[in-house]
Amino acid sequence: MNFLIVLLAIIIVEGYGELAFIQRDEWVRKWHQGLAKLSFLRPFSKLKIATFILVPAAVLHLALATLAQNHLSFLVFVLELGVLLYALGRGNLDTQISLLSSDLERDDLQAAFHDAAVFNTAYREGNAASTDDLRNEIFAALPYRIFERSFAVVFWFFFLGAPAALCYRLLALYGDLDLENIAVDTEEQSGKQTPAGKWLWLLEWIPVRLLSFTIGLVGSFSHTLAHLRDLIFCSQTGTAELLRRCVNGALGESANDNIEDVALTKTSINAVASLFRRAMTAWLVGIAILVILN
CB atoms under 10 Å from CB of 164, counted, come to 18
DSSP 87: H
In a domain, 39, yes or no: yes
In a domain, 57, yes or no: yes
Q: Which of 205, 221, 203 is nearest to 213 (CA)?
A: 221
Among positive and negative, which fits the CA dihedral 36, 41, 46, 49?
A: negative
Ranking 19-33, 71-85, 97-111 by mean pLDDT, the lowest is 97-111
The residue among 278 and 95 whose pLDDT is bigger is 278
Give the rounded percent of residues in the chain with a pLDDT score beyond 70.
Answer: 86
In a domain, 174, yes or no: yes
Reported as a pLDDT band with limits 50, 70 and 90, residue 17 is low
Cβ(39)–Cβ(111) under 8 Å?
Answer: no
**Residue 126 pLDDT greater than 70, yes or no:** no
Structural domains of the chain, count: 1
What pLDDT does residue 269 have? 86
Domain of 53 in residue numbering reads as 2-11+26-293
What pLDDT does residue 124 have? 45
In a domain, 19, yes or no: no
Ranking 28-32, 34-38, 125-129, 150-154 by mean pLDDT, the lowest is 125-129
Give the rounded percent of residues in the chain with a pLDDT score beyond 90.
Answer: 38
In a domain, 21, yes or no: no
In a domain, 20, yes or no: no
Ranking 51-60, 162-171, 260-269, 284-293 by mean pLDDT, the lowest is 260-269
The residue type found at 67 is L
In a domain, 17, yes or no: no
In a domain, 80, yes or no: yes
Give the global pTM.
0.85
Each residue's pLDDT tens digit, 175-221: 777 644 444 433 334 445 678 888 999 999 999 999 999 999 998 89
